[in-house]
Amino acid sequence: MPFQKVATIFKDIDRQATKERNSNGGVESYSFRVWVVLFTATISLLVIHYMKHRSQFDQTIRALESLFGIDGHIWSHAIRSSHFTELYGYIWWAGWHYMFFLLIPILVVKYLFKEKLSAYGWQSGELLSHKWIYISTMLFFVLFLSWFSFHNREFAHYYPFYHHAYRSWFDLITWEILYLLQFVALEFFFRGFILQGLRVPFGSMAIAVMMLPYMMLHLPKLWAEATGAIFFGIYLGVLALRSRSIWGGVAIHASVALTLDISALLQNHGLPTIWFPSFGS
């Protein structure tokens, strides 16, 4: 989008936010909401950062064994010796994202703010009015990332996160379901809960507030991806505020994720050739 058009969009967002603020008692009346949104976001990011790792999963299994009096670490040995042990770790990883990026914010919106989820982007909104923007964005990323990943071996070795995705269609499909549902949670958290929750008190500056933790979430990833997250976060923020919907962002994220995973598989192991892995006797 040209700079002048972006500036106009930001002014429209600020104008609408000012109108809503003034009709609801001014900015002071939103102090509680701002504190709750930012505090919930902070705790959610903190918990996910420390709890999502495989080491925490293993420690939790051992703690449950002690709690239920399981001798010989039978559960731990069974999980470690399973052919799906890595997948179990990613189920754990995804579960924490579903809980703190989606479930907890939903509970805050419905039972603390007593508002409808549609006000936080859980709706189609004006998505159809902006469909060509989303479609062209998805096509651009699919084509660009397909080309880029085939010329950058670093990406090919980094994706998919689940190293056995090539083993069977069961592995690949199960992984992609876990992975793509995580983007629903991520988009609701950043472009719904944080962005829409701060839109009225902060106006277009809510995009800047959302952008910072969104970029930091990408710091463990490749530097190019973390840098791109700054501009990608702003872009998706603008589109989310314009469309009042998170689903366009979900579609873009899903197309990007699938493109990187499939491109990496094609370069390394190829796509699966069997429906379910065979481990022999």
For residue 127, tell me if it sits in a domain: yes
For residue 275, tell me if it sits in a domain: no
- Of the candidates 84, 88, 3, 97, the one whose C-alpha atom is nearest the C-alpha of residue 49 is 97
Q: Is the pLDDT of residue 65 over 90?
A: yes
Secondary structure, 3-state, 168-232: CHHHHHHHHHHHHHHHHHHHHHHHHHHHHHHHHHHCCHHHHHHHHHHHHHCCCCCHHHHHHHHHH
Range of the domain at 188: 12-28+120-267
For residue 94, tell me if it sits in a domain: no
Q: Is the pLDDT of residue 130 over 80?
A: no
Q: How far apart are CA 218 and CA 233, in angstroms?
A: 11
Of 212 and 26, more confident? 212
CB 257 within 8 A of CB 183: yes
CB 40 within 8 A of CB 108: yes
For residue 91, tell me if it sits in a domain: no
Q: Is the pLDDT of residue 101 over 90?
A: yes
Q: Is the pLDDT of residue 229 over 80?
A: yes
Hey, what are 216's tokens? 């930091």
Q: Which residue has the tokens 């084509």?
A: 143
For residue 183, tell me if it sits in a domain: yes
Q: Which of 27-31, 34-38, 139-143, 250-254 has the highest mean pLDDT?
A: 34-38
For residue 87, tell me if it sits in a domain: no
Indicate the range of 133-142, 150-159, 179-188, 236-245 predicted with least confidence. Answer: 150-159
**Number of domains composing the chain:** 1
Instruction: State residue 54's pLDDT score.
Output: 95
For residue 66, tell me if it sits in a domain: no
Instruction: State residue 3's pLDDT score.
Output: 65
Instruction: State residue 151's pLDDT score.
Output: 67
For residue 281, tell me if it sits in a domain: no
Tens-place pLDDT, residues 153-204: 677 778 899 999 999 999 999 999 999 999 999 999 999 999 999 999 999 9
